[in-house]
Homo-oligomer: A and B are copies of this chain.
Amino acid sequence: MMMSAAPQIVMQAKGLVKRYGQVTALDGADFELRAGEILAVIGDNGAGKSTLIKALSGALVPDDGEIRLDGQPIRFKSPIDARRAGIETVYQDLAVAPAMTIAENLFLGRELRRDGLLGRVFRMLDKKRMLRLSIERMQDLKVGIRSMTQAVETLSGGQRQCVAVARAAAFAQHVVIMDEPTAALGVKEGNMVLELIRRVRDQGLPVVLISHNMPHVFEVADRIHVARLGKRAAVLDPKRVSMSDTVAVMTGALLPEDLPAGSLAH
């Protein structure tokens, strides 16, 4: 990241709060995503990472706090609003329709219509084209899936993950958010996804990556957002902080202010 020009902020949140009955999942969390960066979000189980990104992607409406996109305050009332704003998300509890085929899942909600009358008047789907594009997309990820017309419920856990990742990467216009996209993936497939994340960033789209895999995080992240007890505990610079210090901050063993100077990201 260049330190010279003030970095442009794409997405920003301040003081987000979300309660589930007695449980406070988000307790005044802040968030900041800059143009063209990969922002890793890490934290213990239950630290509120998924809740945070659900608030950012319109999957839930926070009880309090403010979200800004490109400096404009926004209020997503549903995932549709977020999608319209060009934000694509891979959810942790994979949002797929198990009885539908892989191709259908990839294009769910953005189906392609045929050209000409058939498409415009009869609104017929262009299944052939969607199938072809699906195959290309999945080959990009180097996933060995035999047929795009097989139902998602017949896939292995990692293969399902790939479907969700491929979908988000293919359609994002503005921001890509991924909640543990590599959790169920094999080494090869995991690396493909990291590669894909880099490619997306290099096309200019900022990526939010939630992951428990520290090597992955340190491999790709430009900045690391540490979530802890529903808040943002710190934002670290992976080039200047050690993995063990990061884990220590994450688990609360070390306070951010006790970190070696320069560990915090700007």
Q: Are the C-beta atoms of B159 and A185 separated by less than 8 Å?
A: no
Flag if A188 contacts B92 (CB, 8 Å): no
- Check A257 for interface membership: any CB of B closer than 8 A: no
* Neighbouring B residues of A46 by C-beta, 8 Å: 144-145, 155-156, 158-159
Whether a CB of chain B sits under 8 angstroms from the CB of A251 is: yes
Q: Is the CB of A183 within 8 A of B183?
A: yes
Tell me the bound Cα distance from A151 to B175 in angstroms. Answer: 33
A162 within 8 A of B: yes
Q: Is A15 an interface residue (CB 8 A)?
A: no
Interface membership of A184, Cβ < 8 A:
yes
- Is A185 a contact of B45 with CB atoms below 8 Å? yes
Binding stretch for chain B, among A119-127, A209-217, A258-266: A209-217
Residues of B within 8 A of A184 (CB): 45, 92, 180, 183, 212
B45 adjacent to A189 (CB under 8 Å): yes
Question: How many residues of chain A get a CB closer than 8 Å to chain B's CBs?
Answer: 40
Q: Which residue of B lies closest to A243 (CB)?
A: B187
Q: How far is the CB of A120 from chain B (nearest CB, A)?
A: 37
CB of A65 within 8 Å of the partner chain:
no
Residue numbers in B under 8 Å from A47 (CB-CB): 186
Q: Are B251 and A188 in contact (CB under 8 A)?
A: yes
Interface residue A245 (Cβ < 8 Å from any Cβ of B): no
Contacts A146-B22, A183-B183; A189 near B44 (Cβ below 8 A): yes
**B144/A157 in contact, CB under 8 A:** no
A185 and B157 contacting across the interface, CB-CB below 8 Å: no
Are B157 and A44 within 8 A (Cβ)? Answer: no
Output the least CB separation between A181 and chain B (Å): 12
Find A45's partner among B43, B186, B215 (CB 8 Å cutoff): B186
Within the complex, the shortest CB–CB distance from A88 to chain B, in Å, comes to 20
Does residue A190 face the partner (Cβ distance < 8 Å to B)?
yes
With a CB–CB cut-off of 8 A, which chain B residues contact A250? 186-188
**Is A1 in contact with chain B by the CB < 8 A criterion?**
no
When the two chains form the complex, which single residue of B22, B42, B143, B146 contacts A23, counting CB atoms closer than 8 Å? B146
CB proximity of A22 to chain B, nearest CB, Å:
7
**Residues of chain A at the chain B interface (Cβ within 8 Å):** 20, 22-23, 42-47, 50, 92-93, 143-146, 154-159, 161-162, 180, 183-190, 212-215, 247, 250-251
| A-B CB proximity, top 3 nearest | A45-B158, A44-B186, A183-B183
